[in-house]
Chain A
Amino acid sequence: AQSVTQLDSHVSVSEGTPVLLRCNYSSSYSPSLFWYVQHPNKGLQLLLKYTSAATLVKGINGFEAEFKKSETSFHLTKPSAHMSDAAEYFCVVRRMDSSYKLIFGSGTRLLVRP
């Protein structure tokens, strides 16, 4: 069965310092992986997606994620946090029994301190 685990429910960083949001996945097949961001009372916005073309995926707003098959990880990083990055982030894997279904992690809330 497929699953995705976000290892931290909350992450707090200072503005200008690096961001690391951790995600591990479980899948018998080569997975399709996504990171989404959600600001308060808003819908989800796609940050980036893993397409198997490259293990290092660049997304919007300076975020990137590295797919590591040996570690079954897809961690999200950003070199320098901005106040506007404060939001909830979801790691998502597509279900292999249906391309229409996604499995969402429980989310990581990022707090950025001034």
Chain B
Amino acid sequence: DGGITQSPKYLFRKEGQNVTLSCEQNLNHDAMYWYRQDPGQGLRLIYYSQIVNDFQKGDIAEGYSVSREKKESFPLTVTSAQKNPTAFYLCASSIGETRGNQPQHFGDGTRLSIL
């Protein structure tokens, strides 16, 4: 079945440590996204990538980094510069487009907590 796989499901970070969240998709989608979700709030865009080897900052990129070396993979690194990293992180993908109503498809998320 085609879909988006996020791993791990739960992740714990120590102070001053960088951690990397994995996101893999087999939908052959060009565009991929990372969102952060906090309790009682909607999703906020961290980074997105429209094509391999290219990515753009979203609304809350500070303290995060990404890479897009392969079409199917879009890992997110939460760096020690992110002072409040505890959140639920969601990865999504969509068909690359400049117009239209193609939806984004989501993975099941990674819950990151601080030890």
Chain B residue contacts of A105, Cβ below 8 A: 42
Question: Is the Cβ of A101 less than 8 Å from the Cβ of B45?
Answer: yes
A69 to B94, CA, bound (A): 27
Name the interface size band of chain A.
20 to 34
Question: B41 — nearest CB in chain A belongs to which residue?
Answer: A106
Contact pattern, B 19-45, Cβ under 8 Å of A = 1, otherwise 0: 000000000000101000000111111
Among candidates A9, A43, A99, A100, residue contacting B109 with C-beta atoms closer than 8 Å: A43
| Residue total for B at the interface (Cβ-Cβ under 8 A) | 30
Q: Is A50 an interface residue, CB under 8 A from the partner?
A: yes
Contact pattern, A 7-18, Cβ under 8 Å of B = 1, otherwise 0: 001000000000
Given contacts A41-B109, A42-B108, A42-B109, contact A99 B97 (CB under 8 A): yes
Interface residues of B (CB under 8 A from A): 4, 6, 31, 33, 40-45, 48, 50, 58, 88, 90, 92, 94, 97-101, 103-109, 111
Given contacts A41-B111, A100-B31, contact A94 B40 (CB under 8 A): no
Question: Is the Cβ of B40 less than 8 Å from the Cβ of A45?
Answer: no
Chain B residue contacts of A90, Cβ below 8 A: 42-43
Chain A residue contacts of B107, Cβ below 8 A: 43
A104 to B71, CA, bound (A): 26
Q: Is A58 an interface residue, CB under 8 A from the partner?
A: no
Chain B residue contacts of A34, Cβ below 8 A: 103
Question: A105 — nearest CB in chain B belongs to which residue?
Answer: B42
Contact pattern, A 82-114, Cβ under 8 Å of B = 1, otherwise 0: 000000001000100001111011110000000
